[in-house]
Amino acid sequence: MGLFRLLFWIAIICAAVWLWRRFISAPKAARQAKRAQEASPMVRCAHCGVHVLQTQALKQDQHWFCSQAHLAQGTQSGDR
């Protein structure tokens, strides 16, 4: 009976520590992810004008493109 009680309390303590660490580390990870996304500048696609993260955009010469298809089509002539 004493061994069961000891194992029960060890399991309860381990579960409490696991939950505490999970809830403490979750907000920190969310803040770091938000900070990383805020730091990335936006660029405008030379073909369609859509703004995308610079890390996801494709660059050719001095122009940025939102996709491989728009990169292949090139810049759009017009008032954009």
pLDDT tens-digit map of 26-48? 676 677 777 766 667 899 999 99
User: Is residue 78 predicted with pLDDT exceeding 60?
Assistant: no
Residues 9 and 21 in one domain: yes
Q: How many domains does the chain have?
A: 2
Domain around 55? 41-80
User: Is residue 80 predicted with pLDDT exceeding 80?
Assistant: no
Mean pLDDT of the chain: 84
Candidates 60, 29, 27; CA nearest to 43 is 60
Residues 20 and 46 in one domain: no
Residue pair 75/53 in contact (Cβ under 8 Å)? The answer is no
Q: Which amino acid is at 22?
A: R
